[in-house]
Amino acid sequence: MRILVADDDAVSRRLMQRLLERGGYEVMTAENGREAAEKLATPGCPRLALIDWMMPELDGPGVCREVRSRQDGSYIYITLLTSKQSGEDIVTGLEAGADDYLTKPCNPEELKARLRTGVRILDLEDKLVEAREDMRFRATHDFLTSLWNRAAVLSDLDRELVRARRDGGMIATLICDLDRFKQVNDVYGHLVGDEVLIQAASRLLGSVRPYDVVARYGGEEFLVLLMGCDATLAHKRAEQIRESIASSPFVTTQGPLSITISIGTLNITDWANDLTATQLLFEADKALYRAKANGRNCVCVAVPPV
């Protein structure tokens, strides 16, 4: 575990560094409060800090306030070292953002015990952050393919429509449906169907740009949002997606399977500005059904009424 020791007294700083290094810590030092605050603002900075209260340029509570004013990065556990004994002073340090304090000269064993407490708290914080991020991912992504799920992509589409209409941007929506997918499940089983869906998701992602959006829309349907695409480019991209699916068999535990996809596309610049995302997707879905009716494995464009 890395730790920052900030003390303007060189002898005290060096003694503390040696003590901590013997305890297995990797020690970084600072000669004043301003240097400490700057080091604690750098990427990958220590997450434990021992800060002397009385320092030039910026005192210990000032360092705490600067660190706590920043919302980015991982939590930093700060212990103030002080010769102040009054309850008011201790309250001042804790309210400034310190997590703990030790009076000087501090007992080495007490220091180590308190730092171990800090490490346990940081470990708990890391687990909570990991759990929160996992919950957020599960709420917005499809469990099987790890693509955006329906709710997340519809929310994203609403935002992008507002932005595009405000700034005059372009968005193309593609509803993609794997052809005869029910037969895959019926003949080979749902586990093979899952293998096909996972590989289809991978091929779709490989056919678009990093800033485009690919989501599992439901069942064997996928929704693709192409940012900044006019109708011509959107149709070209849709053909590339269709070709990526049909170009080579899918590798499954039951052997290679030839899969095709039908796509309905819609570019928002061709449609009235008052249409909602739901209405636009309804029109794209009708284009998809025309593609199915035309023999599958093709692209159809949603055309606004004259």
Active site residues: 220
Three-state DSSP at 147 gives coil
Three-state DSSP at 259 gives coil
Query: How is residue 9 written in tokens?
Result: 């007294």
Alpha carbon distance 212, 187 (integer Å): 34
Q: Are strands 2-6 and 221-227 parallel, antiparallel or unpaired?
A: unpaired
Which class for 70: exposed (0-12), middle (13-18), buried (19 or more C-beta within 10 A)? exposed
Alpha carbon distance 20, 25 (integer Å): 5
Nearest of 131, 125, 139, 245 to residue 197 by alpha carbon: 245
User: 213 near 252, Cβ under 8 Å?
Assistant: no
User: 189 near 150, Cβ under 8 Å?
Assistant: no
The Cβ-side half-sphere exposure at 129, using a 13 Å CA radius, reads: 9
Three-state DSSP at 153 gives helix
Cα–Cα distance list, 161 to 278, 280, 298 (Å): 11, 10, 26
The 10 Å Cβ neighbour count of residue 73 is 14
Query: How is residue 89 written in tokens?
Result: 């002073």
User: 250 near 195, Cβ under 8 Å?
Assistant: yes
User: Would you tell me the crossing angle of helices 87-95 and 60-69 to the nearest 10 degrees?
Assistant: 30
User: 279 near 192, Cβ under 8 Å?
Assistant: no
